[in-house]
């Protein structure tokens, strides 16, 4: 996710400061029932920890 966009999302959702390192996997594709492939970025904590899931949906260009 673009750092500027992440900053805005973090402020709007009132997310806490990031603690520790995260692993970013960009442009994962999920195919919907109608065949449309939706891109997404997946951030997970680095290491073996339990963490909640936060789903953020935004409109964006695939270009």
pLDDT tens, residue by residue, 11-57: 888 776 666 678 888 888 889 899 998 888 888 887 777 777 777 77
**Tokens for 54?**
């936060």
Report yes or no on 30 lying in a domain: yes
Domain count, the chain: 1
Report yes or no on 12 lying in a domain: yes
* 22 compared with 58, residue with greater pLDDT: 22
The answer to whether the beta carbons of residues 23 and 44 sit under 8 Å apart is: yes
**Tokens for 47?**
């290491």
Report yes or no on 3 lying in a domain: no
Nearest residue to 54 (alpha-carbon basis) of 3, 21, 2, 6: 6
Report yes or no on 34 lying in a domain: yes
Report yes or no on 57 lying in a domain: no
* Beta-bridge mates of residue 45: 22
Structural domain boundaries, residue 22: 8-45
Report yes or no on 39 lying in a domain: yes
pLDDT score at 35: 92
Whole-structure pTM value = 0.46
Query: Above 70 in pLDDT, residue 60?
Result: no
């Amino acid at each position: 996710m673009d750092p500027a966009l992440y900053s805005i999302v973090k402020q709007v959702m009132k997310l806490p400061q990031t603690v520790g390192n995260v692993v970013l996997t960009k442009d994962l594709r999920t195919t919907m029932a109608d065949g449309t492939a939706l891109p997404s970025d997946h951030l997970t904590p680095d290491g073996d920890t339990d963490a909640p899931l936060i789903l953020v949906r935004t409109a964006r260009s695939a270009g």
